[in-house]
Amino acid sequence: MADDIAELDEALRRQADTVRRLKQEKASPEEVAEQVAKLLELKAQLGTDEGKHKFVLKTPKGTRDYSPKQMAIREKVFDIIIGTFKRHGAEVIDTPVFELKETLTGKYGEDSKLIYDLKDQGGELLSLRYDLTVPFARYLAMNKITNIKRYHIAKVYRRDNPAMTRGRYREFYQCDFDIAGQFDPMIPDAECLKIVHEILSGLQIGDFVIKVNDRRILDGMFAVCGVPDSKFRTICSTVDKLDKATWEDVKSEMVGEKGLSPEAADRIGEYVQLHGGLGLIEQLLQDPKLSQNKLARDGLGDMKLLFEYLTLFGIADKISFDLSLARGLDYYTGVIYEAILLQPQNAHKEELGSVGSVAGGGRYDGLVGMFDPKGRKVPCVGVSIGIERIFSILEQKVEASEEKIRTTETQVLVAAAQKKLLEERLKLISELWDSGIKAEMLYKKNPKLLNQLQYCEDNGIPLVAIIGEQELKDGVVKLRVVATREEVDVRRENLIEEIKRRTCHP
Amino acid sequence: MADDIAELDEALRRQADTVRRLKQEKASPEEVAEQVAKLLELKAQLGTDEGKHKFVLKTPKGTRDYSPKQMAIREKVFDIIIGTFKRHGAEVIDTPVFELKETLTGKYGEDSKLIYDLKDQGGELLSLRYDLTVPFARYLAMNKITNIKRYHIAKVYRRDNPAMTRGRYREFYQCDFDIAGQFDPMIPDAECLKIVHEILSGLQIGDFVIKVNDRRILDGMFAVCGVPDSKFRTICSTVDKLDKATWEDVKSEMVGEKGLSPEAADRIGEYVQLHGGLGLIEQLLQDPKLSQNKLARDGLGDMKLLFEYLTLFGIADKISFDLSLARGLDYYTGVIYEAILLQPQNAHKEELGSVGSVAGGGRYDGLVGMFDPKGRKVPCVGVSIGIERIFSILEQKVEASEEKIRTTETQVLVAAAQKKLLEERLKLISELWDSGIKAEMLYKKNPKLLNQLQYCEDNGIPLVAIIGEQELKDGVVKLRVVATREEVDVRRENLIEEIKRRTCHP
Q: B408-466, pLDDT tens digit by residue?
A: 999 999 999 999 999 999 999 999 999 999 999 999 999 999 999 999 999 999 999 99
Distance to chain B for A395, nearest Cα, Å: 15
pLDDT single digits (tens) A424-482: 999 999 999 999 999 999 999 999 999 999 999 999 999 999 999 999 999 999 999 99
Phi, psi of A15 (to 5 degrees): -65, -40
Closest partner residue to A312 (CB to CB) among B57, B314, B423 is: B423
* Cβ within 8 Å of A, B 294-313: 309, 312-313
CATH number of the domain located at residue range(s) A65-207+378-407 in this protein: 3.30.930.10
8 Å CB contact of B87 and A194: no
Residue A471 CB neighbour total at 10 angstroms: 20
Please answer whether residues B247 and B267 qualify as being in contact, where contact means their C-beta atoms are separated by less than 8 angstroms: no
pLDDT single digits (tens) A199-233: 999 999 999 999 999 999 999 999 999 999 999 98
Enumerate the β-bridge partners of residue A362.
A336, A382
In one-letter notation, the amino acid at residue B356 is G
Location of each CATH 3.30.930.10 domain in chain B: 66-207+357-407, 213-341
**A49 has pLDDT over 50:** no
Closest partner residue to A57 (CB to CB) among B96, B141, B407 is: B141
Closest partner residue to A408 (CB to CB) among B89, B120, B125 is: B89
8 Å CB contact of A96 and B63: yes
**B350 has pLDDT over 90:** no
Q: For residues A181 and A363, what is the distance between their CA atoms, to the nearest angstrom? A: 11
Whether B142 has its CB under 8 Å from any CB of chain A: the answer is yes
Please answer whether residues A340 and A209 qualify as being in contact, where contact means their C-beta atoms are separated by less than 8 angstroms: yes
Closest partner residue to A65 (CB to CB) among B66, B74, B93 is: B93
Location of each CATH 3.30.930.10 domain in chain A: 65-207+378-407, 209-341
pLDDT for the residue numbered A27: 74
Distance to chain B for A194, nearest Cα, Å: 9
pLDDT for the residue numbered A21: 75
pLDDT for the residue numbered B78: 97
Enumerate the β-bridge partners of residue B52.
B49
Q: For residues A236 and A268, what is the distance between their CA atoms, to the nearest angstrom? A: 11
pLDDT for the residue numbered B167: 77
pLDDT band at B46 (very low <50, low <70, confident <90, very high): low
User: Helices B68-87 and B387-401: crossing angle, nearest 10°?
Assistant: 130
Distance to chain B for A228, nearest Cα, Å: 26
Location of each CATH 1.10.287 domain in chain B: 2-46
8 Å CB contact of A371 and B57: yes
The distance from CA B427 to its chain's CA centroid, rounded to whole angstroms, is: 44
Least confident segment among A289-293, B15-19, B74-78, B489-493: B15-19
Distance to chain B for A248, nearest Cα, Å: 33
Whether B45 has its CB under 8 Å from any CB of chain A: the answer is no
Please answer whether residues A413 and A465 qualify as being in contact, where contact means their C-beta atoms are separated by less than 8 angstroms: yes
pLDDT for the residue numbered A44: 62
The torsion defined by the Cα of A75, B129, B196 and A456, in degrees rounded to 10, comes to -50
Closest partner residue to A438 (CB to CB) among B89, B99, B119 is: B89
pLDDT band at B49 (very low <50, low <70, confident <90, very high): very low
Phi-psi region of B131 (alpha: psi -120 to 50; beta: other; left: phi over 0): beta
Q: For residues A263 and A245, what is the distance between their CA atoms, to the nearest angstrom? A: 20
Q: Identify the three-state secondary structure at position A119.
A: coil
CA nearest B196: which of B323, B360, B394, B320? B360
pLDDT for the residue numbered B353: 40
Least confident segment among A155-164, A275-284, B143-152: A155-164
8 Å CB contact of B95 and A171: no
The sign of the torsion formed by the CA atoms of B100, B102, B103, B105 equals positive
Question: Chain-wide mean pLDDT for chain B?
Answer: 90
8 Å CB contact of B71 and A92: yes
pLDDT for the residue numbered A350: 43
Closest partner residue to A171 (CB to CB) among B97, B139, B312 is: B97
**B317 has pLDDT over 60:** yes
Please answer whether residues A293 and A214 qualify as being in contact, where contact means their C-beta atoms are separated by less than 8 angstroms: no
Radius of gyration of chain B (CA): 30
pLDDT band at B179 (very low <50, low <70, confident <90, very high): very high
8 Å CB contact of A125 and B90: no
pLDDT for the residue numbered B4: 58
A10: Cβ contacts below 8 Å, ≥ 6 apart:
B123, B124, B125
Phi, psi of B287 (to 5 degrees): -60, 125
**A354 has pLDDT over 50:** no
Most confident by average pLDDT, A96-110, A135-149, A235-249: A135-149
User: Which ipTM did the prediction report?
Assistant: 0.86
Q: For residues A224 and A271, what is the distance between their CA atoms, to the nearest angstrom? A: 11
Distance to chain A for B427, nearest Cα, Å: 6
pLDDT band at A47 (very low <50, low <70, confident <90, very high): low
pLDDT band at B258 (very low <50, low <70, confident <90, very high): very high
State what percent of residues in chain A have pLDDT above 70.
Answer: 92
8 Å CB contact of A61 and B409: no
Q: Residue B125: closest CA among chain A residues belongs to which residue? A: A10
B213-341 adopts what CATH topology? BirA Bifunctional Protein; domain 2 (3.30.930)
pLDDT for the residue numbered A485: 96
Chain B residues lying within 8 Å of A61, measured CB to CB: 123-124
The average pLDDT across A310-335 equals 94
DSSP state of A316: G
pLDDT for the residue numbered A6: 60
Q: Where are the alpha helices (DSSP H) in B109-167?
A: 133-142
pLDDT for the residue numbered B5: 60
pLDDT for the residue numbered A504: 80
Sheet of strand A439-440, all strands in order from the earlier edge strand to the far edge: A439-440, A412-416, A463-467, A476-481, A487-491
pLDDT for the residue numbered A32: 73
Q: How many CB pairs under 8 A join A and B?
A: 253
**Which architecture does CATH list for B66-207+357-407?**
2-Layer Sandwich (3.30)
Question: Chain-wide mean pLDDT for chain A?
Answer: 90
The torsion defined by the Cα of A226, A232, A235 and A241, in degrees rounded to 10, comes to 130
pLDDT for the residue numbered B351: 43
More confident residue, A318 or A401: A318
**A353 has pLDDT over 50:** no
CATH class of B412-503: alpha beta
Q: Residue B424: closest CA among chain A residues belongs to which residue? A: A312
Distance to chain B for A132, nearest Cα, Å: 12
Distance to chain B for A20, nearest Cα, Å: 18
Enumerate the β-bridge partners of residue B341.
B208
pLDDT single digits (tens) B358-403: 999 999 999 999 999 888 999 999 999 999 989 988 988 888 887 7
Output the CA–CA distances (angstroms, integers) from residue B463 to A91, B432, B441, in the order listed.
18, 13, 12
pLDDT band at B233 (very low <50, low <70, confident <90, very high): confident
Helix, strand, coil % over all residues of chain A, rounded to 5: 50, 20, 30
The average pLDDT across B95-115 equals 92
Most confident by average pLDDT, A104-108, A166-170, B270-274, B328-332: B270-274
Q: For residues B379 and B147, what is the distance between their CA atoms, to the nearest angstrom? A: 9
pLDDT for the residue numbered B43: 65
pLDDT single digits (tens) A147-205: 999 999 999 999 998 887 777 899 999 999 999 999 999 999 999 999 999 999 999 99
Whether B436 has its CB under 8 Å from any CB of chain A: the answer is yes
**B61 has pLDDT over 50:** yes
Location of each CATH 3.40.50.800 domain in chain B: 412-503
Chain A residues lying within 8 Å of B124, measured CB to CB: 3, 6-7, 10, 60-61
A316: Cβ contacts below 8 Å, ≥ 6 apart:
A277, A307, A310
B2-46 adopts what CATH topology? Helix Hairpins (1.10.287)
Whether A87 has its CB under 8 Å from any CB of chain B: the answer is yes
8 Å CB contact of B99 and A408: no
**Which architecture does CATH list for A209-341?**
2-Layer Sandwich (3.30)
